[in-house]
Structure 1
Amino acid sequence: MAFDDYEQAISFIHGRTKFKKIPTLARMRLFLKYLGNPESGLEVIHVTGTNGKGSTVAFLRELLEEQGLRVGTFTSPFIVRFNERIQINKQMIPDDKLLNLVNFIVPIVTQLDEELADAEGGPTEFEIVTALMFLYFSQERVDIAVVEVGIGGTFDSTNVISKPLVSVITTVAHDHAKLLGNSLAQIAGHKAGIIKENRPVVIGNIPEEALDVIKKKAEEKNAKLYTPSENYSFKEASKKVSWGEVIDYEGFGLTINDLQTSLMGEFQRENAAVALSAFLIVSMQKKWHVNSKEIRSAIKKATWPGRFEAVSEKPLVVLDGAHNVAAIDMIAKTIRKNFKNQHVYIIAAMLADKQPREMFAQLSQLPNTTIYGTTFAGPRPVAKVKDVTEKSEEIEYSKNWQEALVKIVAQMSEEDIILITGSLYFVSEVRHYFLD
């Protein structure tokens, strides 16, 4: 079986099963063995965390590209187009190369389906995408690949990486409870699964319950753990900018003040500091000579679609894929700090399995907001607003986001802003409208 065009190849990928009942890396390892182990020759920075993974990858990509390197990035989910998940120096994998790679792996997938029929069958959708990424980066000879975990860590298909240059754990918060557990300790156990023997680990601000688990795993693996309390530090700088964040950073022999990001949001200060720390660790390994001018340029250039992203100026429309409680909490802090003198109109839609009741409750506590709950065509059931809001009079309902937008534009002033948030799938749908 061979596919004739890109659409057929994409349909094949999306047609595969999403999850298996029993988590294992054995199937992925066998898959890669049959493909010639393309991952074995790659130098990788491995990134996990409940929130902040994508932005951290974006900062790392710019920092590495500033060194003149050929940098592969693997992220999920996609916001605009499937190909954006696999990029080299910000260029998405071309359709023809993706088609060729899919046709290359199809016979092996078919073989595994037969061989593993008595188990749970051949590779899942994400295992196939991961294999395509490893093949592409191997063929294209990237200098470094920055690889984002899909879900968790321990049993994620990216976790076949045996000797990462550095492992990164951005945050630990509640998400994917069915797969990762209900406690922060359980979730941290999965994230800590990417920690490898004698390989350094950088973490962001992690809750104590989760930190204990990560520290224990690092000790077991004899992995040096770099934390914001002991090895690097950052704080909000006194300098103010109209958009973005500014931090003072210190760590790994470097002090750099007024380091500016173009990404807005409290969480971006931490993401930038975590990414810079990971980069500096790799720089020391490679004996690169880095300077503050290159670092400033890279951090300021980093962009990430759907993360407090301004897609319209008049009126100011911001998109943020805050798809869990911790991310909504960060949005609330950003609104209180940066937009306390403006009225914020919020349009939100969330998947039913993402604690929507708690997320809407947090939004409804913001003083200077009007909230519209809505729905969209999600890949899984979408939360019904009336079912998950305690005081429905505080949250208005619109049958779709376009209806809410029309209502808002009719009543808002020039200084007000519109924030569209919730599921990344929802944000992706809206983003197409504004930017296509």
Structure 2
Amino acid sequence: MEPNTNAPFANAEEAISWIKGLIAFGPKPGLKRMEYMMERFGNPERRLKFIHVAGTNGKGSTCAYLTRALMQAGYDVGTFTSPYLTRFTDRIQHNGVDLADEDLLNIANRLKPVADEMEGSDIGSPTMFEVTTAAALIYFATVSYPDFVVWETGLGGRLDSTNIVTPVVSVITNVGFDHTDVLGETIAEIAAEKAGIIKPGVPVVTTAEHPEALQVFRETAEQRKSKLYVLGEDFEVEVGEVQKNKQVFHFDGPFRKLPDMTLTMNGEHQVKNAAAALMTLEVLRQYYAALLDPEDLLQAFRETSWLGRLEAIELADRPGLQVLLDGAHNPEGAAALADALKKVYTYKKLHLLIGMLSTKNHKDYLQHILPIANSILFTEPDFRKKLEAEELFRVASELKAETGAAAELFCEPEWSRALEQLLDRAESGDLAVISGSLYLISDVRAQLMKLTDTDKGW
């Protein structure tokens, strides 16, 4: 086949560069630009069965459980997640395989003329995330044809570009104080944005616990005549044996019980994420006759992993040193991380390397981490919204003075030098944890694992 010399892009790298160069946020929030693009491509989103997942924390892990379980049961599964830790194409997967460069190139060449039209119109140019979302929809609906699409929101829910779809099940993991500059400053306001993914007549699963958030979800589900399944009311989990890389729990749902479910992912919060996924799968089984045998679910949940979430990295030149990567970047994530570090891991000393974005709740994050650390080294993610390491150091120093915490505090803005200092400080038997922004996690992970073909971004 002769190459198309009129195509906007000659290769995937050019296509990715174009997408990443688009504006991060549109001039007006909403779905107008998504609706325009979908209409131009024949509304591909109407041909797919989506499981739409929102929440402050746990979205990625919940998507991982859902994807792995459906694949184990024999279904073809599309997965759309964000941000990405390695390459742009890993956010769009079919049966766990990244979007091929050739498919991305073909789709981007189809999208570029439409985006150019929009730029000159009243609705304006589509954003980076909108074009990526549109590319995923076109890929799933016209190239890979999955049975189900596990579909993670980018930010919030109501006005998020992923909300162009009508799912077969909606999932809201929890609600906490993150992205308050966009979603609102109260739990009720943030919950209302998350509740925007609840569609008329579509069942909803939530593991949220905050009373104000649950009230918003109940009212929204009632208004839209959607059945709401709440952890602790409509389904239960009982945790049994817990040790490093092994958690056993019993699931008691409205349709059946699933005893002795085992996870290798660490942290009590992962049991809640797994419970959200299990209840969602039970809805698919009950409402849509999905075939999900207990044996397949047992194997799938036991084998599920998720990059950058309490991910252990082995260093050949540092035997005896434990290294963990965890993208906890808000107070709720920090609380889950601290709980896991106290309950699951054993070590002589705990050393942390932390880099954050400027938009996060830094003081409340540090309140969970500062009391348990022996040392904390503050650095900066290589990203446009980074918080200066000296500012994070200042906040931590003030909090240390207020609380009397014993942790030693250090500051090194350059993340690669900070990583070297962290590893130099840690000794055999210690635990070194890199946490905060996933953009920092991406770079550190690539360096520790000597990955050459890597990228990061929203």
* TM-score for both structures, normalised by structure 2: 0.90
> Offset of 1:385 from its aligned partner?
2.6
Which residue does 2:366 correspond to in 1? 360
Aligned residue identity for 1:248: H
Moved more, 353-362 or 184-193: 353-362
Deviation at 1:358, TM superposition (A): 2.5
Alignment of 1:46 onto 2:52: yes
Residue number among 385, 392, 395 corresponding to 1:388 in the alignment: 395
Who is 1:416 aligned against? 430
User: May I ask how many residue pairs the two structures share in their alignment?
Assistant: 430
Instruction: Return the alpha-carbon distance in structure 1 between the equivalents of residues 442 and 371 of structure 2.
Output: 26
Change in Cα spacing, 1:360 to 1:394, as seen in structure 2 (3 Å) is farther
Residues 1:154 and 2:158 are matched in the alignment: yes
For 2:246 and 2:441, the matched residues in 1 are separated by 20
Work out which of the residue numbers 300, 306, 309 in structure 1 matches 2:308.
Answer: 306
Q: Deviations over 1:20-40 (max 9, x none)?
A: 243111221111101111111
Structure 2 residue aligned with 1:397: 411
**Corresponding residue for 2:454?**
none
Whichever residue aligns with residue 137 of structure 2, its letter is F
- Give, in angstroms, the shift of residue 411 of structure 1: 4.6
Deviations 1:226-247 (A, max 9, x none): 011221111221x244314321
Taking the aligned partners of 1:425 and 1:235, their CA distance within structure 2 comes to 34
2:264 partner letter: S
Look up the equivalent residue of 2:367 and give its one-letter code: A
The aligned residue for residue 176 of structure 1 is 179
Over residues 234-266 of structure 1, what are the superposed CA-to-partner deviations in whole Å (9 max), with x where a residue is unaligned?
A: 1221x2443143212111332223311121112
- The AA in structure 2 aligned to 1:28 is M
Query: CA RMSD of the aligned region, Å?
Result: 1.7
Higher mean displacement: 267-276 or 337-346: 337-346
Q: Bigger shift: 347-356 or 125-134? A: 347-356
Deviation at 1:302, TM superposition (A): 1.1
1:137 paired to 2:143: no
User: Deviation above 6 Å: which 4+ runs of structure 1?
Assistant: none
Other structure's SS at 2:120 match = helix
Query: How far apart, in 1, do the equivalents of 2:427 and 2:327 lie?
Result: 25
Q: SS of the counterpart of 1:365?
A: helix
Distance (Å, rounded) in 2 between the aligned partners of 1:350 and 1:244: 30
Q: Do the aligned residues in 1 keep the contact of 2:255 with 2:282 (CA within 8 Å)?
A: no
Q: Distance in 2 between matches of 1:283 and 1:434?
A: 41
Cα offset for 1:408? 4.2
TM-aligned CA deviation for residue 339 of structure 1 = 2.7
1:112 aligns with 2:115: no
Tell me if the contact between 2:26 and 2:125 (Cα under 8 Å) persists in the aligned partners: no
Cα distance change, pair 411–154 in 1 and its aligned pair in 2 (3 A): closer
Inter-partner Cα distance in structure 1 for 2:210 and 2:394: 31
- Give me the whole-angstrom Cα distance separating, in 2, the residues matched to 1:343 and 1:37: 55
Encode CA deviations 1:116-144: one digit per residue, 9 max, x unaligned: 2xx4x121111100000000001121111
Q: Which residue of 1 aligns with 2:376?
A: 371
Of 38, 45, 69, 1:63 maps to 69
> How far apart, CA to CA, are the structure 2 residues paired with 1:52 and 1:100?
33
Q: Conserved in 1, the CA contact under 8 Å of 2:173 and 2:276?
A: yes
DSSP 3-state at the match of 1:346: strand
Distance 1:251 1:271 in 2: 15
Given the two structures, how large is their TM-score scaled by the length of structure 1?
Answer: 0.95
Report the counterpart of residue 226 of structure 2 in structure 1. Answer: 223
Aligned mates of 1:246, 1:379 — CA distance in 2:
41
| Runs (5+) with no aligned partner, structure 1 | none
Structure 2 counterpart of 1:182, which letter?
E
CA contact (8 A) 2:221 2:228 kept: yes
**Stretch moving more, 314-323 or 164-173:** 314-323
Runs (5+) with no aligned partner, structure 2: 1-6, 402-406, 452-458
- Residue of structure 2 in register with 1:293 after alignment: 295
Matches within 5 A, 1:21-32: 21-32=27-38
Whether the 8 Å contact between 1:346 and 1:419 is mirrored in structure 2 is yes
Identity %: 35
